[in-house]
Amino acid sequence: MVNVKIPTPLRKFTNQEGDVQAEGDTVIGVIESLEKSYPGIKKRLLDDNGEIRKFINIYVGEEDIRFLKGKETKTEGKEISIVPAIAGG
């Protein structure tokens, strides 16, 4: 089980919980597990092609998965954070 940090706009799926538990060895596994517990959340995280939406950042521990192996990144028991992209400038 890993802890997943849920951003405010997605808490309507998690009964307003900001921290939830999920199973899965990879990020995509965690997303599938979240969908089982909280139906509807997957569609908010993945686009129609099954890719992580452009404007969502997912971190495994401190690392942005875009710099690792994307949705196939191993979770290794680390906390997963889902963070809407913050635009600079």
Give the interface segment with another protein, choosing from 19-27, 28-36, 71-79, 80-88 (CB under 8 A): 80-88
Kindly tell me which residue out of 14, 25, 32, 53 binds another protein, with binding defined by CB under 8 A: 53
Please provide residue 57's backbone torsions phi and psi, each rounded to the nearest 5 degrees.
-105, 135
- In this complex, which beta carbon is closest to another protein, that of residue 1 or of residue 43? 43
Residue type, 5: K
Residues contacting residue 40 through CB under 8 Å, at least 6 positions apart:
13
- In this complex, which beta carbon is closest to another protein, that of residue 36 or of residue 66? 66
Q: Structure tokens of 85? A: 């992209």
19 binds another protein (CB under 8 A): no
Q: By three-state DSSP, how is residue 25 classified?
A: coil
Q: Least separation, in Å, of the C-beta of 44 and another protein? A: 7
Report which of 2, 18, 37 is spatially closest to residue 10, judged by C-alpha positions: 18
76 binds another protein (CB under 8 A): no
Residues in the chain: 89
Residues within the interface to another protein (CB under 8 A): 9, 44, 47, 53-57, 64, 66-67, 84-89
